[in-house]
Structure 1
Amino acid sequence: MSDEMLASLGVEGSVAAANALSHPADAYGNDPRLEAMWAMKAFNHAEIYFNLISSVDPKFLKLTKQDDQIYSSFRETFKDLDVKLLKSGDLKSDKAKEIWRPFCNQFENIVEDYNYGTLLRLDCTKDYTEENTIFATRVQFFAVEIARNREGHNDGVFTSKPSKS
Structure 2
Amino acid sequence: MLELKIKGKTVVTVDKPFITISGTKASETIITWNDSGDILQSPTFSVQASDFIGRFLTIQDTLFDDNGRHYYSNCYIEGAVDFNCGNAPMPILFLRLFVGVLQKCHLRSLSEGTRAITAQQRQSPSKNTGFIFLGCNITGVESTVLGRPWGAYSKVVFVQTYMSNVVLPQGWENWGDPAKQR
Confirm or deny a common fold (TM above 0.5).
no
Q: Identify the structure with bigger relative contact order (alpha carbons < 8 Å, sequence gap 6+).
A: 1
| Interval of TM-score (by shorter of Structure 1 and Structure 2) | under 0.3
TM-score, normalising length: structure 1: 0.28
Higher strand share: 2
